Amino acid sequence: MEFPFDLAPVLGDRFCVVDQHLRPAGRRGPTHRGDLEQQLRTVIDELGKASAKAQGLPAPVTSATRMEANRHVLYILRDAEGRGTPKGAVIGFLKVGYKKLFLLDRNGAHNEAEPLCVLDFYIHESLQRHGYGRELFQHMLQSERVEPWRLAVDRPSEKLLAFLHKHYGLADAIPQVNNFVIFEGFFSNRPAPPRRPPPKRPEEEIKPYSLSERDFLREETEPPWPFNLTSGRVGGSPVRGSLRPFLLRRETPDGQTDPRPPDGRTDAPQHRRARWAALFYFFFFPQ
């Protein structure tokens, strides 16, 4: 893929690695910085459009704006020898990045992992089947220090699956419920994710009871009116005493006291008079 400007100051050597900062490889001072950054954005946008068109996607998945918003890495392979054009040409690119995923193993168990993912891969149509794709992919594996079966591939095309099978023997895919594809060996010798201990609670003063419990223990149930009237309140009566000494009592044949009236009727006039007398003495002659 050719561009109307010299690619050497923008991409540098044969392999150019670009991250979210979008820094050109060959900045030569502040006067050239703005132009080189704009040219790099143009290269990334055009490569993304060409990849989307080749894969039949409705919109590009690679652009300069997306690179700035994500922590992805773009590996760009250019024709440093300038064959066919004096300004050089771009052969293709490979975009990777780490993503947190929930993946299924062979037993159908869910596993949380954060693997390195292949997000976009494109080699110009006129330069395919010349070994450039393998050269670019191998450079990425060496730079990221990862084995090919440790990768997760996002929406791989049939060409990409055939490429991985031909050059790396990745053919036995593990089915997933998302758009990513992983291969046999992905979960082998993978360390379990570290468990984070629960956050420590701030140290507090040790108390035998809470304030609410101690306040509850101090509470006393107030008797109903008029028995809640005390001598300390304005207009109140003295503290009540026991009503039992004022009730009429009689002794039973076995020597016990029976508080019932002599005639056995609870509503006898004598019993009612006794109750009224008890209330009278309670309010006016306290014990």
In whole angstroms, give the CA distance from residue 66 to residue 272.
96
Phi, psi of 148 (to 5 degrees): -65, -30
Separation CA 75–CA 36 (nearest Å): 17
Which residues are known binding-site members for acetyl-CoA? 121-134, 157-166
* Residue 131: C-alpha distances to residues 75, 124, 151, 270 (Å): 16, 12, 21, 122
State the angle between helix axes of 158-168 and 132-144 in degrees (0 to 180), rounded to the nearest 10.
70
Average pLDDT, the chain: 78
Q: By CB neighbour count within 10 A (0-12 exposed, 13-18 middle, 19+ buried), where does 78 fall? A: buried
pLDDT tens readout for residues 192-245: 545 556 666 666 665 554 555 555 445 555 555 555 555 444 444 444 444 444
Residue 271 has phi, psi (to 5 degrees) of -70, -35
Name the residue with tokens 């990777």. 96
Give the pTM: 0.64
Q: What is the pLDDT of residue 147?
A: 94
pLDDT on residue 282: 66
Handedness of CA 94, 128, 88, 80 (dihedral sign): positive
Cα(132)–Cα(56) distance, integer angstroms: 22
Q: Which residues contact 167 (CB under 8 A, 6 or more apart)?
A: 134, 137
Average pLDDT for consecutive 10-residue bins of the chain (287 residues)?
88 91 69 79 95 93 94 92 71 96 90 94 92 96 95 93 94 90 85 56 58 51 57 48 48 56 54 69 63
Please give the pLDDT value at position 12.
87
Classify 153 as helix, strand or coil.
strand
| Chain mean position to CA 89 | 44
Of 238, 220, 222, 242, nearest to 230 by C-alpha is 238
- Indicate the SS3 state at residue 122: strand
Which pLDDT value is given to residue 240? 47
> What pLDDT sits at residue 285?
62
Q: Can you give the pLDDT at residue 245?
A: 47
DSSP secondary-structure letter at 263?
T
Domain boundaries, the chain: 7-183, 212-284
Chain-centroid distance of CA 22 in Å reads: 29
pLDDT attached to residue 243: 45
Q: Which CATH number fits domain 7-183: 3.40.50.720, 3.40.50.300, 3.40.190.10, 3.40.630.30?
A: 3.40.630.30
